[in-house]
Amino acid sequence: MSSFVLPEVKRETLLKETPPIVARPVQLEAKRKKESNAFLKYAAIFVIGLSLLGLGANSIYQKNLSEQQIIANQEQERETQTKIEKATFIVSEALPSLSVEVTLDKKPYHIIAGAFRYPENAQRLVNQLTTSGYKARILGVNKWGLTQVSYESYSEINDAINSLYRIRETEANDAAWLLTQDL
Q: Are strands 137-141 and 177-180 parallel, antiparallel or unpaired?
A: unpaired
Is the pTM here over 0.85, yes or no? no
**Per-position pLDDT tens, the chain of length 183:** 567 677 777 776 666 666 666 655 555 555 556 666 778 888 889 999 999 999 999 999 999 999 999 999 999 999 988 888 777 666 667 767 778 777 777 889 999 999 999 999 999 999 999 998 999 999 989 999 999 999 999 989 999 999 989 988 887 777 888 998 887
Q: Cα separation of 82 and 61, whole Å?
A: 32
Q: Which amino acid is at 160?
A: A
